[in-house]
């Protein structure tokens, strides 16, 4: 597996990471069997994956416990990324609003360290911006945790370029996590230029469009009743029908590269910047292999021009999130 560094930090990790959310929280499918997921996580390490992304809110708490159990025997080989920012009851049964008060950040850090079975969190993200807490206070608290040796790097998720700058002025931000893929390119307007200027790495989630860019979904696909995509405007049958043009483009390039559409979608992301590390999620071993294979696909300048030209005529149909969740992003 190729290695990359996030921005100008010294945090080196695999070019393809692993988003672990779906292993214990069924946004898109029924969560996997716990022991099967432990085996999957360890198999990913064996295949060279070193970045594993989780959060206290996934479960809640269940995903951190799963990741901690699976990766404790190989802790020195991996980078653990987790997140704070929500108000969750101690039993994990009640999810309130946002909470990035300094005392709460500290509580989450200590609880996450315990669940992850580690003495330091490699990358600690603010999951969503809390409008009630100045971002300088948030960054300052993480700075203290770094000084105390409990955290190594500070990350932010789904923020505006302006907020990113304010936080970075207090404590260097190592990584920005947000949605980015061939059919969701809002990050290119301000976020990616800001990351490049400040030396911040970029970690795209949903890099294959929540499964759509794999080519396994069309307008006739029926999702499970509990599938989060049932609530997403971009996944209505009509939107899916229109957005299939993105899949057709990926299939065309994939045919030349002896690859899959998902692999080309990931390779395209890797080709955008040397400091971009996508974190596709899966619960299936064959998808791990497929995603890892994307790191070996070389898109030529001609391939990238072809994709850029074609994609410029393909405006995606539908918002990427339901309105209430969309309002929580870009703060």
By CB atoms closer than 10 A (0-12, 13-18, 19+), residue 213 is buried
Phi, psi angles (nearest 5°) of residue 225 = -55, -35
CA 74 – CA 80 distance, rounded (Å): 11
Is 180 catalytic? The answer is: no
Of the candidates 28, 58, 125, 180, the residue annotated as catalytic is 58
Which residues are CB-contacts of 275 (< 8 A; sequence separation ≥ 6)?
Answer: 4, 5, 6, 7, 195, 196, 200, 201, 202
Tokens 């990427």 belong to 320
Beta partners for residue 205, in sequence order:
179
Residues in the chain: 331
- Calculate the alpha carbon distances from 320 to 4, 71, 230, 317, 324 in Å: 28, 32, 12, 9, 12
Contact (Cβ atoms closer than 8 angstroms) between residue 206 and residue 274 = no
- CA atoms in the 13 A half-sphere facing the CB of 114: 6
Cite the active site residues.
58
């Amino acid at each position: 597996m190729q290695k990359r560094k996030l921005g100008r930090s010294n945090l080196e990790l695999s070019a393809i990471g692993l988003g672990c959310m779906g292993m214990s929280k069924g946004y898109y499918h029924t969560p996997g069997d716990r022991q099967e997921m432990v085996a999957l996580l360890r198999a990913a390490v064996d295949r060279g994956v070193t970045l594993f992304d989780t959060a206290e809110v996934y479960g809640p708490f269940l995903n951190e416990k799963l990741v901690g159990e699976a990766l404790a025997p190989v802790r020195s080989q991996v980078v653990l990324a987790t997140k704070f920012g929500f108000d969750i009851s101690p039993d994990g049964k009640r999810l309130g609003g946002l909470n990035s008060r300094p005392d709460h950040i500290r509580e989450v850090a200590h609880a996450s360290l315990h669940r992850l079975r580690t003495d330091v969190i490699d990358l600690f993200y603010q999951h969503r911006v809390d409008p009630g807490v100045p971002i300088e206070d948030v960054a300052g608290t993480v700075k203290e945790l770094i000084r105390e040796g409990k955290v190594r790097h500070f990350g932010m998720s789904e923020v505006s370029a302006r907020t990113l700058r304010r936080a970075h002025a207090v404590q260097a931000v190592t990584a920005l996590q947000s949605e980015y893929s061939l059919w969701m390119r809002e990050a290119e307007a301000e976020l990616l230029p800001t990351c490049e200027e400040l030396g911040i790495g970029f970690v795209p989630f949903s890099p294959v469009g929540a499964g759509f860019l794999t080519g396994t979904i069309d307008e006739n696909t029926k999702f499970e009743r509990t599938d989060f995509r049932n609530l997403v405007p971009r996944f209505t049958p009509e939107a899916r029908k229109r957005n299939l043009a993105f899949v057709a483009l990926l299939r065309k390039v994939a045919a030349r590269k002896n690859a899959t559409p998902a692999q080309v979608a990931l390779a395209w992301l890797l080709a955008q910047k040397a400091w971009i590390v996508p974190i596709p999620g899966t619960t299936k071993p064959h998808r791990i292999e497929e995603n890892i294979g994307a790191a070996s696909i070389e898109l030529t300048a001609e391939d990238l021009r072809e994709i850029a030209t074609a994609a410029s005529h393909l405006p995606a149909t539908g918002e990427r999130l339901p309105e209430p969740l969309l309002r929580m992003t870009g703060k």
